[in-house]
Structures are given as structure tokens and as C-alpha cells.
Structure 1
Amino acid sequence: MAAQWRRLMIGGAAIAAVTIGLYSLVGPQSGSNRGADDATADPEPGLTLRDVTLEQPGDDGLLLWRVKGDEVTYSADQQVAFITRPDGDLFQDGEVIYKVVADSGEVRENGSVILLRGNIVATGVQNGSVLRGNEMEWRPQDDVLIVRDQITGTHPQLRAAADEARVFNRENRMELEGNVVASTVVADPETESWLKLQAKELTWFWKDERIESDEPLRVEQFKQNAITDVVVGQRGSLDLAEQLVALRGQVAMQMLELPLNMTSEALDWQVDEEQVAVNQPLTLVHPENKIRVTARRGQMNLAEQQIVLSEDVVAVGETNQTRLTSDRLNWNVETQTVVAEGQVNYRQADPAINLSGSRAVGRLDDETVVVDGGRVVTEIVPN
């Protein structure tokens, strides 16, 4: 539909209603005063209006958007409006959901698409988010706001940067794509721990306070702005309210303060409580003391440096070639003492010793293990 415009006289001020296959309202402007016979005349190609307000209603009559501009210039085919310094509101169900400003903008596709460019700031009126970037696209009929090029975002829950952000306001969902880095928000990062997430893509459900990723995800915990724990997996989620990190697929965790490394196929980490639950076969490695422990289940208390392992537990001291097997194992990482229970067997190479019993207490790093309980069998193998 070709652009049409008419001019009305209200209180002596000229106000033009301009349509590019859309409906818009234009504020006071300079120019000659045409008569009523010009009400249906098309604007001339390249027509420029100043101090303009454009707005677009939907089929139900409710506004989809309203944008003010210092100037609006129409394309030669009268299908595009170019806006200088746009400042406007984006609507949903008749309510403002985002306020936007930018250096320049365009209205296209009969008003169903708005493009903004340069120093964009989109402020969420309802969700409290602020998005910044250099390119924005608003498609109200699809309920999607797209921000691209050097994206940063802030929210009471989260701070993030990405190549692109897609906001679906009805679903309270934001999709971040490309080089995503997100950090949880705390009042004082110097005294409170916080998390940093990195992935190719993240989906954030701000109403549910949940973040998900079907791509490889890296989560780092910071205390006093220093990294203390790192965990990676092939996919994962973060419950912001519960501070629960759940990772699945080739999971690896580095506990830098202990120090200790863990690998498994699944991990649930209660960050605030400093508890890690692993309900899949796992491997723990203490790199300094060269101790390696495997089991089918594990529970780690990071604050107290206590680890409880169960089912087919095997602890190996690589330096002294020691091997301890049991049904259950309590491991104090700080003191390097272990308490093994169940069907316990302890072996070492030099001197060659084989001990079996129902309980064992000792250290694997210096070969001081005492096996007792029930019937104890001691086997000494000569060199």
C-alpha cells in the first residue's frame, strides 16, 4: 500500500497522520499548510518530517509500538520510514513492555517490523531487564525482540553478554546465543560468592528463575572475586532461586581449594550449601598426593572437605602402589585420612601386604592403614 498522509489543524499546530501501510501520528512540524483537499495525497519520495511520533495498532486496535523521532524520511517507494534518534515504547496487550532508544531506526513491512541501530538501550518495564546493543529488531506479531551486535544485559538476577539475544515476553523467556557469558548478581561480590556461566547458548526463564543450556556449559564459582570451583558438562541448568547447578554428560569438576578433580556423567551442586551429589559412577583425583578413587555414588561436603563414597569403592595411591577397596568410604581431604567399611581389602606393593576385614582406618598417601573388624586375614607376599 502506498504511503498516504493528511494534515489536520489543531489549535493552530500542524499535525500530520502518515501511513506506510501502517497508522502513525506525527507531532508538530515545519512546512507549508495544505488544504483539506490534500487529505489523501501521497507524500513525495524523500519527504522528511520533523519532531515525529509514529505508532502502529494491531488488528484488535491495541498499540503494537509508538516511536518518536527527531526526523522521519520516507523511501522513494514510500514503504520504509527512516527515523533519526528514535525514542519509543513497545507494547503487548496494550501495555508498555519495553522502552527503547537508539541512534537511528527504520519501520518496514507495513509496520510489522521495527529496526533500530546504534547505541540501543531497551529497558524492560515489567521484567526489569536492560539490554544494550547496536542492532535491534521488534516483531510484535511474533512476540520477539531481537538484539544483536555487542549485546550486554543487566537484570536483578543476571548480567550477560552475547552475540544475540531473543526475548519472548509472553513466555518470560530470553534466548542468548553466541559467546554467552552470564554472571549471577549479588549485593557485594567481595563478600558473597557468585557464579559465572559460559556457553554457546543459554535460555533464561526470568519468571521461573531458571537458566538452561543444551550446549556444553561451564560454571565457575567466585569467592572474594577469585575462582574456587569450576564445573563443565555437555548440558546443564541453574536454578537461581535454589542455587542448584545440574550438569549432565561428560561432567568434570575442579575444586581448586581442596585441590580435587572429579569426573562423572551427572552432578547436582547445591552452591550455597556447598554440597555436591553424584548419583552416577565417578572418579576423584587428588593431583598433589596422586590418589585416585572411583565409586558408583558420591556425596561431597566442600565446606568441611568431607567426601562419602559408596558401592564398589576403589582407592589407589599411585606413588606407593596402594589399593583399598570397600563398600563405603569416608575421605577427609584436608587430613587425607580415610575410613572404609564393608568388605574391605587393602594391598600395597612394597612391602607386599594384603589385608582384609570389615573396617579400615588410615592414610593412603603414607601407607598407614589399619584393617580390623570380624575376621582379619593378613597375607604377606615375599619379594
Structure 2
Amino acid sequence: MKNLDWSKLRFVWLLVGALLGVGAYTVWWFTIQRQTVPNGSIPPVLPGSSLSNITFSEVDKNGKQLWEIQASNAEYNQNQRIASVKKVRGKFFRDGKPAIEAVGERGTIDQAKREITIEGKVSAIAIKDGINLKADRIVWEADRDLLTATGNIKAEKPADKLAIVGKKLTAYPSTNRFKLEKEVVATSVKPPLRLESALLVWDANLNKVIADVPFRVVHLKEKVRIRADKGEWSIKDSLVTLVGNVKGRSFDRDLDVISNSLVWDIQKQIVNLPVSLRVVSNSRGVELNANKGRIDLGKQQINLDGQIQASSKQNQAVLTADAVEWQIPAQTIVVQGNVNYRQTEKNVSVTGDRAVANIAEQTVQVSGGDVVTKITP
């Protein structure tokens, strides 16, 4: 060990006394080639020192700012190489430019782990994208470009009128991806949507909310609820794509839709069903199956194609065809192509090119060539 230079040590004590008299000073932390700062390289902080109105900072090997922490009070533990700070205001940089700003009641700066923690009513903002974040606690790891948050988390983007709440957040600021976990709920004002899941990923670059686990989406105005194994919401395109065990319900229209894939154009009020599906209306006693389909929520119209099978519980009737159009308010179902109508109770079987069924009146009219057959209750 090198001998202590007592004259230099006395000078440090005099410097500390002068700085404390002023009541404010700055401590700069530097790293070279991303290595941990060695012990004793942070003059003039002494073991157990209590500091006021202090600024900690770090730059990379090229001299670009990595982070800056301002605090009203700090206590430094030389052995653990940890600074405990109060009334914290932090800035985290990317390529030398401010990327995130955060404030909190208290925090720690761990020199050994190169971690910064801010706790207590934390409020932060991702400056470039205008994303606000509130949490009980956040941790910044500069080496990993990783920001984690826990507690009562709320991330919101006022420009998109979008907010997401949860209990845990993992973010990589350089890629603008925010993963929220545990009781996650995303809400937007326009359109009035609500997404619920155990885990959601918000990709700010792609302007999408992604769910790789089961989730539910609710349109509050249309009173439509859909659940699926996974999916995504493209905020810019106003599209919701769902895959796997898709189950949707329109409460006002009393319709249930079951399929494995669904694309919902919210702005156009169109639901596309590209694979086999089933549509059920319990109050009307009607069930339709098809290879693919399209639902126009605005016009309240359903169009289905391919291997159509429609059944009615009230009269035990089955109708098969190539295509169907269901006008929901008029309670009219029009089927076309290879029409076959069977009613077991009355021992009726009719074929034709086209058929029109009225659900309210329980009538079916089948036409083919010059022959028209009308079936009544």
C-alpha cells in the first residue's frame, strides 16, 4: 500500500470544510471503458459523509453523459459504495441526450452494481415519445439499458390518450418497448377500448400494444367483448388482431362469435373472420357455421361464406348453402347457392338456389328455377 500524503489529506479536509460552508458541492463519477469505478476515487466524499444539495453524474469513455442525479441530501457508505439520497431528480441519457427524467422521494446510487434506484411517488417521462410513468419504485441499470419499475404503475401517452396500469414494468428505452405485468389494464379514450391481461407489451416505435398471453378487449361504446389466446392492437391503424380460441360477444345485438382468428377494424366497425367460425344468438334460437365471414357492426349485418349451416332451435330446422347474409334488425337471413332446407318435425326437405328466412315470423321461402316454396309454422 502506498504511504499517505498527509499534506494532501489536510488539503482535502480544508476543501471539504470550505464546500460545507457554502452548503453545496458536486461529486462526479466517471467510468473508463465501462469498468467499475475503483474504491477511493470519488473525492472529497468521506466514509459516513452527509452531503447537501448534491449532484452525482457519470459519463462514458467518449465523454458522453450517461446519467445525472440531483438530491437535497445524500449519505455515502464507502464500504458498500452506496449513496443514499433524498428528494431525488434524475436524468438518464442516450447518445449524450436526455432520454428519461424522473423524480422521487428517495433513492440509492449503487456504484458497485452500477444501479440507480428511485422510490416513493416516482414520476418519470420518456422525453422523445412523451410517455409519462408513475410507480412506487424504479431501477435504472445503465450497462443493460434497462429500466424496471414496481408498485402501482401507470404509463400513459397523452397524445394518443392511452394509459396502461400494472404492478411490474420492464423497459428497454433504446428500443422503446415497455412490458407490463400483473393485473395489466390498457385503456384509450378514442376509440373507447379496454384491454386486460396478465402481460402486455407496449411497442412505442410500432405504436402497438401486444399480448402473447390470453387477454380480453372490450369496446365500451359498442358493448363488444372479445377474448383470445394472444393478439395485438395497432393504435395507428385502429386494428385489433386476435388469434387462438377467439370468443366475442356483442351484448346489444345478442351475438356470440367463436373462431380461431379475428381482425377488428375499429374505425370502420368491421370484423373480419378469415377462418371457420360459429355465430350464435340464444334469444333468437339461431346458430350459423361457415368457413369465413364478415360482420359490419355499423350496418348490423353478417355475411358468411363457404359450407354454410344455419339451424333454428324453435322449429328444429337446418339450412345449408354456399353463402348467407343476415340483416340483424330486420331479422332476415338470405342464403344462396346449393340451398337445402330440412325440417325434421314436419318431415320437410326443400332444395333451391336461394332462400329467405324471417326469424321473427319463423317462415322460410325457398326458390329454384320457376318454383317457389314457402314454409310457415
For residue 268 of structure 1, what is the amino acid of its counterpart? V
Query: 3-state SS of the aligned residue for 2:283?
Result: coil
Q: What corresponds to 2:260 in structure 1?
A: 265
Q: Within 2, Cα distance between the matches of 1:72 and 1:229?
A: 53
Q: Within 1, Cα distance between the matches of 2:43 and 2:334?
A: 91
Q: Within 2, Cα distance between the matches of 1:268 and 1:106?
A: 47
RMSD of Structure 2 on Structure 1 (CA): 2.7
Q: What corresponds to 2:36 in structure 1?
A: none
Q: CA deviation at 1:42?
A: 6.7
For residue 195 of structure 2, what is the amino acid of its counterpart? L
The verdict on how the C-alpha distance between 1:40 and 1:234 changes in structure 2, with shifts beyond 3 A counting, is closer
Q: What corresponds to 2:287 in structure 1?
A: 292
- Equivalent of 2:48, from 46, 49, 52? 46
- Equivalent of 1:215, from 213, 216, 221? 213
Deviations 1:298-349 (A, max 9, x none): 0110111111111110011112211111000111111211111000011123
TM-score norm. by structure 1 comes to 0.85
Q: What corresponds to 1:162 in structure 2?
A: 166
5+ residue gaps, structure 1: 24-37, 187-192
Q: Within 1, Cα distance between the matches of 2:343 and 2:279?
A: 20
Q: CA deviation at 1:74?
A: 1.0
The verdict on how the C-alpha distance between 1:49 and 1:111 changes in structure 2, with shifts beyond 3 A counting, is farther
Q: What corresponds to 2:5 in structure 1?
A: none
Aligned residues: 353
Check conservation: 1:210, 1:239, Cα contact below 8 A.
Answer: yes
For residue 342 of structure 2, what is the amino acid of its counterpart? R
- Equivalent of 1:182, from 173, 182, 186? 186
Q: What corresponds to 2:342 in structure 1?
A: 347
Q: What corresponds to 2:198 in structure 1?
A: 200
Q: How many percent identity over aligned positions?
A: 27
The verdict on how the C-alpha distance between 1:126 and 1:19 changes in structure 2, with shifts beyond 3 A counting, is closer
Q: What corresponds to 2:96 in structure 1?
A: 94
Q: Within 2, Cα distance between the matches of 1:168 and 1:376?
A: 69
For residue 197 of structure 1, what is the amino acid of its counterpart? L
Query: 3-state SS of the aligned residue for 1:86?
Result: strand
TM-score norm. by structure 2 comes to 0.87
Q: CA deviation at 1:377?
A: 9.8
Check conservation: 2:319, 2:339, Cα contact below 8 A.
Answer: yes
- The aligned runs of 1:1-383 (5 Å cut-off) are 7=15, 13=22, 16=25, 18=27, 43-75=45-77, 77-110=79-112, 112-155=114-157, 156-157=159-160, 158-186=162-190, 193-223=191-221, 228-364=223-359, 366-374=361-369
The verdict on how the C-alpha distance between 1:116 and 1:75 changes in structure 2, with shifts beyond 3 A counting, is same
The verdict on how the C-alpha distance between 1:372 and 1:57 changes in structure 2, with shifts beyond 3 A counting, is same
Check conservation: 2:233, 2:240, Cα contact below 8 A.
Answer: yes
Q: What corresponds to 2:4 in structure 1?
A: none
Check conservation: 2:310, 2:318, Cα contact below 8 A.
Answer: yes
Deviations 1:139-191 (A, max 9, x none): 122112111111012112220101112222221211111111001243xxxxx
Q: Within 2, Cα distance between the matches of 1:124 and 1:279?
A: 38
Q: CA deviation at 1:366?
A: 3.7
5+ residue gaps, structure 2: 1-8, 33-39
105-114 vs 283-292, greater mean Cα deviation: 105-114
Query: 3-state SS of the aligned residue for 2:223?
Result: strand
